[in-house]
A and B are shown apart, each in its own frame.
Chain A
Amino acid sequence: MKREITFKLNNEERKVEVDPGWTLLYVLREVLELTGTKEGCGYGECGACTVIIDGRSVNSCLYPILEAEGRAVTTIEGLRAASGELHPLQRAFVNEGAVQCGFCTAGMIMSAKALIDENEKPTEDDIKDNIAGNLCRCTGYVQIIDAIKTAAGGGRT
């Protein structure tokens, strides 16, 4: 039986009819058509589905949708400024060559955002720990780490 839940999605109040068995990822992708968040495994292993809930990075494929009631959810689509300008992390990922196939990118950026929102000057180890739940098969992570450093203001420009 469907239920209605209310949560804040990318700074907008949303009311959504959901099946209690659905995950947040399912609702984002299939109901709300926010396909920037990817499904790489469905088990919380790969991090491609990472979103931010109340300031914390979360694997949305494991997150029961009913838990989202009353919470603030940010997805990759919510990062750009209203003017259309890229978020500093998005800009850094592009500039530093941190994006190859791009399948992991949204989740990687969301994990990094949760980190730098909390810790303005993360060390390289902080960054590596932070994205340890985000699998990238293309880059070897070097340019991703550089990009996060740059966005946090601690790396090269």
Chain B
Amino acid sequence: MEKFTLIGKNMKRIDTAAKATGEAIFSADLTLPRMLIGKALRSPYPHARIVAIDTSKAERLPGVKAVITAQDMCGDKWGVFRYTQDQQFLPTEKVRYMGEEVAAVAAIDEDTALQALKLIDVQYEALPSVFTIDDAIAAGAPQLHDAYPNNINVHVKIDVGDIEKGFNESYLVREDTFSAPEDAYFQGEPYAVVAQFDQAGNLEIWMPNAGPHMKAKPLSNVLKIPLNKVRVRKITIGGAFGGRSEISPADVICAFLARKAHRPVKIVYTREENTVATRQAHALVTKIKTGVDREGKVLARDITCHMDGGAYSSTGPIATSVPFLCMEQAYRMDNVRYNGYRILTNKPIRGMYRVHGRAFACGIDIQLDMIGAALGIDPLTMRLRNARQTGDYTPTKSYVASCGMTESIVKAGEKSGWKEKFGKLPPYHGIGIGCNSVQTGFPMGIRGGSQAFIKLNEDGGITVITGIVDNGQGNDNMVVQIAAEELGLTPDDVQLISADTEVTPSDPGSYAMCETFIGGNAVRLAAQDVKKKLFRIVAGEFGIGVDNLTARDRKIFVTENPEKSMSIAKAVRIALSRNESISGEGSYWPNVDPKREWVKNPYGQLSETFSFGTVIAEVKVDPETGQVEVLEVTAAQDVGFALNPQVIEGQFEGGVAMGGQGGMLSEFLQWHEGRVLNPTQFGYLVPLAIDMPKINNIIVETIDPNGPYGAKEAGMSVAMSAAQAYCGAISNAVGVYFHDYPITPDKIVKAIEEKKQKENAEVPG
């Protein structure tokens, strides 16, 4: 008999038929009786003092039911951490970026709401602004917040081993600087919120979110109502990629409008609002100094990274750390110093993004290529010589329980034909490799663990209750798959109640790739709890030990004698008739160091386990136009164990599109004095079907000792290492190492011209 019936096999996702028929309801699709339309008035200045706001004309406009300003709120400041509480949902004193919310209206329709916005008179006193990292930290620069002198929002300092000794012992040392502007999340679904209050003052609210509990707490704080009155409801979510992590001013504004108007309110962001006023990914400048021995093994690294954080902290301490942490996981580096600075500028707010910092990961990797070239070692071998291994500790003291980095490098190398191709391709053809690693969660305080409940019905079906949220990646299906597997049921036998703060227990949310590992384990434990109780009943009836039973095909049968069985439905009815509880409960708390803190103590177990991935890309560059044609991409990742291979392959392919194709070839935000010039798809070039190369997927399984069935996470390492592989491949094709990303055609043409000029200059006569 096969070990599993559902786990490890391609399974049709339970949520996708509703999406393919148009029946799935997203936030903007909701309509409630008497619902109003809300709109926010946004600052036209990047930095200005708010002198006065007059809303009287807007309030008198027929059809307007509520107008709010900072006066309606208590001036509370929100922050992910106590030490980063710096953002008011409607600012009282000044605006800090162009597009920041200043006031809001709710009206009977969109036209009236937009007309009302024009009637709000805000007097601003423009203040000097800063738009670049250099300008922001220059002496005498305008200051955004009193709490952050010199506009330094966060400084993460990590110092491990003895880097001076490491550099002294190095055979070769190089220092390079890498940079990249901001990227946009560009989720399919523009942000939307619907809020309503009932007569008892309970808030019901729907919005895209990465964790309903993470939304509920700040709403409770700012609305001054108990947490049990905030009901963040489950809704279909159109992508997150890190950009739906926190409370949004839109959530709070919508709730305040609904409370003031005594009617439901819906706010739907335009595409521009989604790009400007949700979150963006950080711009980075990373200086990397690396020393290696003769064999290319890294002996010391000194990294300084400046990140443009925009106007507020957001997830700043995490965002400032993660680019480094991913790379310290991926590669061994015993002596390393990291100084990460998040700098505030008068630009929109930056958050956590799926591809954590192109100018960091690509910098580390392309520098390995440069060093390898100097030593006569090819890039793949450079990776193998520095690859993280099972049983290692990372520099910041995380134990690595399972690691398939080497296997992913070797397998990707074989599949892509690396040996036959590297150094042997025709002119302007190139091949490149990137390696990366991501966490499966990190210390998240009291919300770091997940709990799940399972209720049984008298027909043998179950309802699983969990806080796990699905942003589109397939988490709902993962829950059903695990519960059905454990209890020997079919997916149709399982109902799911999830991501609803009124009903579902605590869960970290879909952050840092933790849902499979943490939430999945909790659901599995809840199902095992139920199974244990059912087995007790059946064992009693059959007069045998509980260890001799198996659950499969909606039955519990004697393992050695499958003819002898009882339906789960019958076991449930026996339990009911005896008033015996058979509900299940499971909770999982990951083995992370609770004393670890991003800034104060960045050492200790960060995440219980990590995924590791390698991407190899092969490209052809047109030297005349600088256009890059990507011929083939091979993506390999250690996922621990593939719960649902089809879903994992979809994550790999999506990761290649976002990290490689978009992240390294075309995606970047353009600016003019704090204004985003390309907030829509016309100027912000997200990959389309016609752009996509052939992709080979390689699933590497290391069976993590503590992951559910050995699983870790599906696809994040690929998204990140794809950017690195593209960077390496283009550099290899052109014969120039690129330091500024994305590598757009203009940069390629320029690099080729400069290379030619240099070569001509070197040829005598």
**CB of A20, distance to nearest CB on chain B (Å):** 14
Complex: A106 Cα to B26 Cα, angstroms: 13
Does A141 lie within 8 Å of B689, measured CB to CB?
Answer: yes
Complex: A36 Cα to B188 Cα, angstroms: 14
Instruction: Name which of A41, A75, A132 has the most chain B CB atoms within 10 A of its CB.
Output: A41
- CB closest residue in chain A, given B662: A137
**CB of A156, distance to nearest CB on chain B (Å):** 12
Complex: A76 Cα to B689 Cα, angstroms: 21
Q: Is B189 an interface residue (CB 8 A)?
A: yes
Encode A82-112 as 1/0 by CB contact (under 8 A) with B.
0000100010011111011111111001000
Does A77 lie within 8 Å of B22, measured CB to CB?
Answer: yes
Q: Is A79 an interface residue (CB 8 A)?
A: yes
- CB closest residue in chain A, given B31: A33
Q: Kindly list chain B residues whose C-beta atoms are within 8 Å of the C-beta of A36.
A: 21-23
Q: Kindly list chain A residues whose C-beta atoms are within 8 Å of the C-beta of B689.
A: 127-128, 131-132, 134, 136, 141, 144-145
Q: Kindly list chain B residues whose C-beta atoms are within 8 Å of the C-beta of A109.
A: 20
Does A138 lie within 8 Å of B680, measured CB to CB?
Answer: no
**Which of A1-9, A42-50, A52-60, A64-72 lines the interface with chain B?**
A42-50
Does B190 lie within 8 Å of A40, measured CB to CB?
Answer: yes
**CB of B759, distance to nearest CB on chain A (Å):** 38
Does A142 lie within 8 Å of B681, measured CB to CB?
Answer: no
Does B26 lie within 8 Å of A103, measured CB to CB?
Answer: yes
Within 8 Å by CB of B188, from A76, A128, A137, lies: A137
Does A97 lie within 8 Å of B239, measured CB to CB?
Answer: no
Encode A115-157 as 1/0 by CB contact (under 8 A) with B.
0000000000001110111111111111111000000000000
- CB closest residue in chain A, given B688: A132
Does B271 lie within 8 Å of A80, measured CB to CB?
Answer: no
Q: Kindly list chain B residues whose C-beta atoms are within 8 Å of the C-beta of A100.
A: 239, 472-474, 650, 654
- CB closest residue in chain B, given A100: B472
Q: Kindly list chain A residues whose C-beta atoms are within 8 Å of the C-beta of B657.
A: 137, 139-141
Complex: A24 Cα to B270 Cα, angstroms: 18
Q: Kindly list chain A residues whose C-beta atoms are within 8 Å of the C-beta of B237.
A: 101
**CB of A100, distance to nearest CB on chain B (Å):** 5
Instruction: Name which of A38, A76, A97, A104 has the most chain B CB atoms within 10 A of its CB.
Output: A97
Q: Kindly list chain B residues whose C-beta atoms are within 8 Å of the C-beta of A103.
A: 26, 187-189, 238-239, 472
Does A42 lie within 8 Å of B16, measured CB to CB?
Answer: no
Within 8 Å by CB of B695, from A45, A138, A140, lies: A140
Does B270 lie within 8 Å of A42, measured CB to CB?
Answer: yes
Complex: A50 Cα to B688 Cα, angstroms: 16
- CB closest residue in chain A, given B473: A100
Q: Kindly list chain A residues whose C-beta atoms are within 8 Å of the C-beta of B653.
A: 139-143
Within 8 Å by CB of B681, from A38, A45, A143, lies: A45
Complex: A45 Cα to B188 Cα, angstroms: 12
With A103-B189, A140-B656 known as contacts, the answer to whether A135 contacts B29 (CB < 8 A) is no
Q: Is A37 an interface residue (CB 8 A)?
A: yes
Does A105 lie within 8 Å of B19, measured CB to CB?
Answer: yes
- CB closest residue in chain A, given B270: A42
Q: Kindly list chain B residues whose C-beta atoms are within 8 Å of the C-beta of A129.
A: 690
With A139-B654, A140-B655 known as contacts, the answer to whether A76 contacts B13 (CB < 8 A) is no
Complex: A139 Cα to B662 Cα, angstroms: 13
Does A99 lie within 8 Å of B16, measured CB to CB?
Answer: yes
Complex: A97 Cα to B715 Cα, angstroms: 15
Q: Which of under 10, 10 to 19, 20 to 34, or 35 or more describes the interface residues of B?
A: 35 or more
- CB closest residue in chain B, given A111: B689
- CB closest residue in chain B, given A110: B22
Within 8 Å by CB of B21, from A40, A76, A131, lies: A76
Encode B519-541 as 1/0 by CB contact (under 8 A) with A.
00000000000000000000000
- CB closest residue in chain B, given A127: B689
- CB closest residue in chain B, given A77: B22
- CB closest residue in chain B, given A90: B20
Q: Kindly list chain B residues whose C-beta atoms are within 8 Å of the C-beta of A94.
A: 12-13, 16-17, 20
Does B236 lie within 8 Å of A35, measured CB to CB?
Answer: no
Q: Kindly list chain B residues whose C-beta atoms are within 8 Å of the C-beta of A40.
A: 188-190, 271
Complex: A100 Cα to B239 Cα, angstroms: 8
Does A139 lie within 8 Å of B650, measured CB to CB?
Answer: yes
**CB of B679, distance to nearest CB on chain A (Å):** 10
Encode B653-686 as 1/0 by CB contact (under 8 A) with A.
1111110010000000000000000001110001
Complex: A140 Cα to B695 Cα, angstroms: 9
Q: Kindly list chain B residues whose C-beta atoms are within 8 Å of the C-beta of A38.
A: 26, 28, 188-189, 238
Does A90 lie within 8 Å of B21, measured CB to CB?
Answer: yes
With A93-B16, A143-B649 known as contacts, the answer to whether A43 contacts B21 (CB < 8 A) is no
Complex: A37 Cα to B29 Cα, angstroms: 10
Within 8 Å by CB of B692, from A37, A48, A96, A142, lies: A142
**CB of A10, distance to nearest CB on chain B (Å):** 11
Encode B1-44 as 1/0 by CB contact (under 8 A) with A.
00000000010110111111111111011010000000000000
Does B21 lie within 8 Å of A77, measured CB to CB?
Answer: yes
Does B271 lie within 8 Å of A41, measured CB to CB?
Answer: yes
- CB closest residue in chain B, given A34: B22
Does A76 lie within 8 Å of B239, measured CB to CB?
Answer: no
Complex: A39 Cα to B190 Cα, angstroms: 8
Does B188 lie within 8 Å of A138, measured CB to CB?
Answer: yes
Does B686 lie within 8 Å of A135, measured CB to CB?
Answer: yes
Does B12 lie within 8 Å of A95, measured CB to CB?
Answer: yes
Does B22 lie within 8 Å of A138, measured CB to CB?
Answer: no
Q: Kindly list chain A residues whose C-beta atoms are within 8 Å of the C-beta of B688.
A: 131-135, 141
Does B22 lie within 8 Å of A75, measured CB to CB?
Answer: yes
- CB closest residue in chain A, given B695: A142
Q: Kindly list chain A residues whose C-beta atoms are within 8 Å of the C-beta of B238.
A: 38, 101-103
Encode B686-729 as 1/0 by CB contact (under 8 A) with A.
11111010010000000000000000000000000000000000
Complex: A99 Cα to B186 Cα, angstroms: 17
Q: Kindly list chain B residues whose C-beta atoms are within 8 Å of the C-beta of A128.
A: 689-690, 692
**CB of A150, distance to nearest CB on chain B (Å):** 13
Q: Kindly list chain B residues whose C-beta atoms are within 8 Å of the C-beta of A140.
A: 650, 652-658, 661, 687, 692, 695
Within 8 Å by CB of B22, from A106, A127, A131, lies: A106
With A97-B646, A141-B689, A143-B649 known as contacts, the answer to whether A104 contacts B188 (CB < 8 A) is yes
Q: Kindly list chain B residues whose C-beta atoms are within 8 Å of the C-beta of A77.
A: 21-22
Q: Kindly list chain A residues whose C-beta atoms are within 8 Å of the C-beta of B239.
A: 100-101, 103, 137-138
- CB closest residue in chain B, given A106: B22
Q: Kindly list chain A residues whose C-beta atoms are within 8 Å of the C-beta of B655.
A: 140
Complex: A102 Cα to B20 Cα, angstroms: 7
Does B271 lie within 8 Å of A43, measured CB to CB?
Answer: yes
With A97-B650, A102-B472, A105-B20 known as contacts, the answer to whether A137 contacts B686 (CB < 8 A) is yes
Encode B158-201 as 1/0 by CB contact (under 8 A) with A.
00000000000000000000000000001111100000000000
Write 25 A-B pairs (CB below 8 A) sorted by A numbering: A36-B21, A36-B23, A39-B190, A40-B189, A40-B271, A42-B270, A42-B271, A93-B20, A94-B12, A94-B17, A97-B650, A99-B19, A101-B473, A102-B18, A102-B19, A103-B187, A106-B20, A128-B692, A135-B681, A136-B689, A137-B187, A138-B473, A138-B650, A140-B657, A140-B658
Q: Given A37-B22, A100-B473, A102-B236, 7 more contacts at CB 8 Å?
A: A35-B26, A39-B28, A40-B189, A45-B682, A104-B188, A137-B658, A141-B688
Give A contacts to B, CB under 8 Å.
Answer: 29, 33-43, 45-46, 48, 75-77, 79-80, 86, 90, 93-97, 99-106, 109, 127-129, 131-145
Give B contacts to A, CB under 8 Å.
Answer: 10, 12-13, 15-26, 28-29, 31, 186-190, 236-239, 241, 268, 270-271, 471-474, 646-647, 649-650, 652-658, 661, 680-682, 686-690, 692, 695
Nearest first, the 10 A-B pairs at minimum CB distance are A36-B22, A101-B472, A102-B19, A140-B653, A103-B238, A103-B188, A76-B22, A35-B29, A140-B657, A99-B16
